[in-house]
Chain A
Amino acid sequence: MADKIKKRITCIICPVGCSLTATGIKGNLVIEGNECNRGEKYARSEYTNPLRTLTGTVLIKEAILPRLPVRSENPIARQLFLRAAAELNRLVVTAPIKRGAVISEDLAGSGIRLLATRDLDKL
């Protein structure tokens, strides 16, 4: 059937690393290959909306380094990663910056804030 979408997922919850398959059939999701319930839960979230914390850097002026490390405050949808990374490359900040400073209020339309992960003093 055309509406069957099958995904292969490697479970990362524990070191066993089960190879899972998740097959969506009209709103139902069938998970196979998991040794425990945690694998089932993981496969469901990976199938429907995998979330990841985005980390990277933005350009900083007047600091000892040209790049300021940043992170998304919470995980964002993985599909937004390339768009969010491109957005990071357009951002420019000026030293001094403190760890935890909000660099963007809404990262790539995710509603999640982008935060500085270190202090960078003015040169």
Chain B
Amino acid sequence: MKDRHAREAIVVIGGGPAGLAAALAAACKSRLKVILIERDRELGGILNQCVHDGFGNFVFGESLTGPEYASRFIEQLQSAPNLEVWDNTAVISLKGDRTLTAVNRSGIHRLKPAAIILAMGCRERSRYQAFLPGYRPAGVYTAGTVQRLVNMEGVMPGEKAVILGSGDIGLIMARRLTLEGAEVLGVYEIMNRPGGLTRNIVQCLEDFNIPLFLSHQATFLHGKKRLEGVSIAPYGSSGKPDLQKEKRIECDTLILSVGLIPENELSREAGIEIDPATAGPVVDQDMATGVEGIFACGNVVHVSDLVDHVTLSAQAAGRGAARYLSGRKPAGKALFKAGTNIARLVPQVLSLPVEDKVDLYIRVSEPAEYVRIAISSESGEIYNKKERIVRPPEMIHLQLEKELFQNTGGGDSLFVNLQGGEADGG
């Protein structure tokens, strides 16, 4: 192919929202060639099927639809002279020395770029990962599959649907299917709080009188060829489904919105350390992984609720890759550590010296009100911020001034804690 060795190139793997922003930032900050590899026939990734609006409130100050958000980047990309797009191309192997293997219609290509940015996004948790008992009929889909079928392929998956899980894509598809004439019988969530954003609970469910049932679990899928119904039971005080209260709902379609998993097969193959809390690579504030010259951004690092956060992390990765290629090496590393009521945080590593603002993303374990987010080193608190309310579905984004870290040394731990407040048992 065009540049078999590509030693003088930055390769971005994945052309969704993360890959688009990372490739643009890298092309703008570096004079090297940037190759953006996408396995689909066009760029944009998941944005192409997200026809609803709500994208870009933070980055562009307006509420765009998914395709509009993607086009903002795709159009800029066409005017970047050092940027090359390889579409219909899948990366099938990545080694720790940055050797990668890609396949497309013209054959198998081995490249060893100067830097790589991982932007593979995430995948939906499937029926089998959600452990749903019963038969294996047609009519059981993940929410993103339904979204692609309805919004891009023009195919309706069924007429009477039950949605399992209250993740954002499931809520959005409840509204889409209703507007397309299907009957959405209800959304059943295993947790005792919704998984999606309040905005989506209001505008996708309440607007259409679609009921939301918390603390409910599917207990059996009926139907040997096509789905005929789902049995559902509430959680009892024992922490198990209360089968006395099990009921069967007649439906031909079950839509799963039960979580997203970062797609890290290539990262693992390359020997990149994965954080069990995020299921994505451990990264520093430049989104550098532990393997030299490999960066990662967007949902492959940790699943975000807003695309704006994906874009910001991708821009950091693009700049970070360019900075790495200019010869900058960190002098030391400190670690951010998740403390009280912090489920996960990114970045996990702080490379020293800190030269720019640090974007810190935090997801809490439990909802809480009137809290203080505090960051402390061994010698005392360096930062705190009050929050009226924090919830697991809404990621917290802190922009930390570099001066905060002037006394941070290599090997230090920075503990991030949520203090005070009443966990509302949520």
| Interface residues in chain A, defined as those with a beta carbon under 8 Å from any beta carbon in chain B | 10, 12, 14-17, 50, 52-53, 55-57, 59, 64-67, 69-71, 78, 81-82, 85, 89, 99, 117-119
Contacts and interface: CB of A to CB of B under 8 A. Distances in A.
Interface stretch (B157-165, B199-207, B260-268, B320-328): B199-207
Contacts of A52: 203, 207
Contacts of A53: 53, 63
- For the residues of B in contact with A, the DSSP-based class is helix
B67 A117 contact: yes
B153 A66 contact: yes
Nearest to A65: B152
Nearest to B391: A15
B107 to A, nearest CB: 24
Interface of B: 41, 48, 51-53, 63, 65-68, 70-71, 150-154, 176, 179-181, 198-199, 201-203, 206-207, 388-391, 394
Contact of A99 (B63, B71, B151, B389): B71
B155 to A, nearest CB: 9
B63 A15 contact: no
A15 B68 contact: no
B333 to A, nearest CB: 33
A71 B201 CA distance: 21
A55 B389 contact: no
Contacts of B390: 15
B180 A85 contact: yes
B179 A82 contact: yes
A12 B202 contact: yes
Given A15-B394, A16-B389, A78-B207, A119 B71 contact: yes
Contacts of A64: 41
Contact of A67 (B63, B151, B201): B151
A55 B68 CA distance: 12
A17 B65 contact: no
Given A55-B65, A117-B65, A117-B67, A69 B151 contact: yes
Q: Which 6 A-B pairs have the closest CB atoms?
A: A118-B67, A66-B154, A69-B51, A85-B179, A17-B198, A117-B65
Contacts, number: 78
A111 B271 CA distance: 57
B206 A10 contact: yes
A71 B179 CA distance: 14
B388 A16 contact: yes
Contact of A15 (B48, B71, B198): B198
A70 B52 CA distance: 9
A65 B153 contact: yes
Contacts of A56: 51, 176, 179-180
B67 A99 contact: yes
A57 B151 contact: yes
Nearest to A46: B202
A2 to B, nearest CB: 23
Contacts of A67: 151-154
Contacts of B68: 71, 99, 117-118
B376 to A, nearest CB: 25
Nearest to B48: A118
Contact of B198 (A10, A57, A85, A117): A10
Contacts of B207: 50, 52, 78, 81
27 contacts: A10-B201, A10-B206, A12-B198, A12-B202, A12-B203, A15-B389, A15-B391, A17-B198, A50-B207, A52-B203, A56-B179, A57-B154, A64-B41, A69-B51, A69-B65, A71-B53, A78-B207, A81-B179, A81-B207, A85-B180, A89-B180, A89-B181, A117-B51, A117-B68, A118-B68, A118-B71, A119-B71
